[in-house]
Homo-oligomer: A and B are copies of this chain.
Amino acid sequence: MKEQTLFKKILRDSGYSTTKARSLIFDLLLGSDDPRTMHQLIEATEGRIDRVSVYRIVELYEKLGVAQRINIGWKYKIELSDVFLDHHHHMTCLDCGRVVAVKDEPMFEEMIERLGQANRFVLKSHQLEMQGYCDRCRSNAAQ
């Protein structure tokens, strides 16, 4: 199913309407490879949507599982959820700030599952964030 169609279906099924503002935010998220900060997202609307609405829309997307916040350093960024992007994790370069999406291995998922059971948790989600220096930056300067 085309992303936009699935997106509209999710809204409709949950009793929300598809509006110009909601579609724009969705397209902005779909259009960028990298997660976006709230600030970037608001900038990207170029005043077409009020900042308050951006907050409200992102909040809704999180509730519906359309988007998720991920934590990069001290800040958070927004990206589409696993429904629209493959489940993955992030590796951030401490020097240039580049964020690489890392597909995870089945073995990793199994391990997460085991950790949950060992603590008697029924796990719903998880995030793995890694930081280090990418090859480009490493060849430029000694860390």
Q: Show the binding face of A for B, using Cβ within 8 Å.
A: 69, 71, 74, 76, 89, 91, 93-94, 100, 102, 104-105, 107-108, 111-112, 115-116, 118-135, 138, 143
A2 CB → nearest B CB, Å: 30
The reply to whether B111 and A134 contact each other, CB–CB distance below 8 Å, is no
Query: Roughly how many angstroms separate A125 CA and B69 CA in the complex, as a whole number?
Result: 20
9 CB < 8 A contacts A-B: A71-B129, A91-B123, A112-B128, A121-B132, A123-B130, A126-B128, A127-B129, A128-B128, A129-B129
Partner of A121, one of B108, B111, B118, B130: B130
The reply to whether A120 and B94 contact each other, CB–CB distance below 8 Å, is no
